[in-house]
């Protein structure tokens, strides 16, 4: 696909797209990429920072990751890219899902797991989580943290993390984490902002489901538009990788 760039529009790294036959293959490929990245970062820098995504798609990869015996979990720091505005034991909680599919099954020190305190008032939870990230990354003012890996999913409406169409968080340019009112779900979410996401060294999308095929085609092969927040995920200086299950990829023309 030839895509023309407007004057001044930054040339971004082309996404790496892998299409796999089914969910089992998606979970396997996702786990292999996480493990590859973790080993590389720990060997190079002594630690690996990862932000998990919510939703159902990554749970299979979490389960496979939990069976991985040769990872130095004491060198791995787990964060969350977004959270529903619920307590940690709620069945809607991304933290709870990750705890059940991964965190409760691995020898990771509890202080290495940074959950979003979503039981608090949403703006307070967002601020506390941003403070937690700032304390962890210890950066000079104005600098963005560089996660080694941020995992993301995409919803059928083109949302990613909890950056939904027509919501205020889409235009946040200075905060790392914000509370985002999602009227169509009549709820708040706590989410990483685009600048934080786009400063990651690697962004890994796991996407599955026939119901996402049209939006995914538009996101990956269509013109840039504000309709789909996922289109605004463009690493500033990093790798963008998509692992896509065949059903979700069925309308892609380049595969």
- Site for ligand 6PG, rule CB under 6 A: 53-57, 82, 84, 94, 153-155, 159-162, 209
Q: Residue 57 or 71: which CB sits closer to ligand 6PG?
A: 57
Rounded to a whole number of angstroms, the minimum distance from the CB of residue 81 to ligand 6PG is 6
The residues, any chain, with a CB within 8 Å of residue 64's CB and separated by 6 or more, are 27, 28, 31
Rounded to a whole number of angstroms, the minimum distance from the CB of residue 90 to ligand 6PG is 12
| Nearest-angstrom CA–CA distance, 33 and 46 | 18
Rounded to a whole number of angstroms, the minimum distance from the CB of residue 94 to ligand 6PG is 5
DSSP 18-65: EEESSHHHHHHHHHHHHHHHHHHHHHHHS-EEEEE--SSTTHHHHHHH
Q: Residue 71 or 149: which CB sits closer to ligand 6PG?
A: 149
Rounded to a whole number of angstroms, the minimum distance from the CB of residue 135 to ligand 6PG is 23
Q: Residue 71 or 219: which CB sits closer to ligand 6PG?
A: 219
Q: Residue 77 or 192: which CB sits closer to ligand 6PG?
A: 192
Sign (positive or negative) of CA dihedral 57, 59, 62, 66: negative
Q: Residue 57 or 198: which CB sits closer to ligand 6PG?
A: 57
Q: Residue 160 or 167: which CB sits closer to ligand 6PG?
A: 160
Residue 90: φ, ψ to 5°: -70, 145
Tokens of 157: 């409406």
| Nearest-angstrom CA–CA distance, 76 and 55 | 22
Rounded to a whole number of angstroms, the minimum distance from the CB of residue 65 to ligand 6PG is 16
| Nearest-angstrom CA–CA distance, 247 and 88 | 32
Rounded to a whole number of angstroms, the minimum distance from the CB of residue 83 to ligand 6PG is 7
| Nearest-angstrom CA–CA distance, 113 and 150 | 15
């Amino acid at each position: 696909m030839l895509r023309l760039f407007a004057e001044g529009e930054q040339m971004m790294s082309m996404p790496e797209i892998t299409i796999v036959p089914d969910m089992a293959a998606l979970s396997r490929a996702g786990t292999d990429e996480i493990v590859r990245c973790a080993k590389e970062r720990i060997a190079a820098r002594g630690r690996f920072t990862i932000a998990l995504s919510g939703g159902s798609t990554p749970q299979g990869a979490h389960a496979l990751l939990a069976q991985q015996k040769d990872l130095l979990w004491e060198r791995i720091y787990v964060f969350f890219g977004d959270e529903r505005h619920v307590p940690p034991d709620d069945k809607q909680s991304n933290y709870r899902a990750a705890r059940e599919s991964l965190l409760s099954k691995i020898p990771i020190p509890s202080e290495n797991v940074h959950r979003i305190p979503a039981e608090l008032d949403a703006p307070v939870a967002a601020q506390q989580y941003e403070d937690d990230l700032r304390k962890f990354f210890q950066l000079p003012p104005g600098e963005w943290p560089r996660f080694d890996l941020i995992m993301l999913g995409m919803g059928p409406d083109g949302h990613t993390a909890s950056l939904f169409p027509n919501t205020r968080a889409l235009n946040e340019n200075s905060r790392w984490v914000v509370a985002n009112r999602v009227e169509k779900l009549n709820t708040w979410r706590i989410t990483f902002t685009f600048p934080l996401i786009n400063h990651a060294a690697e962004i890994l999308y796991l996407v599955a489901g026939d119901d996402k095929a049209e939006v995914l085609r538009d996101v990956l092969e269509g013109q840039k538009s504000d309709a789909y927040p996922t289109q605004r995920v463009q690493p500033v200086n990093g790798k963008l990788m998509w692992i896509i299950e065949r059903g979700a990829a069925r309308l892609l023309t380049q595969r």
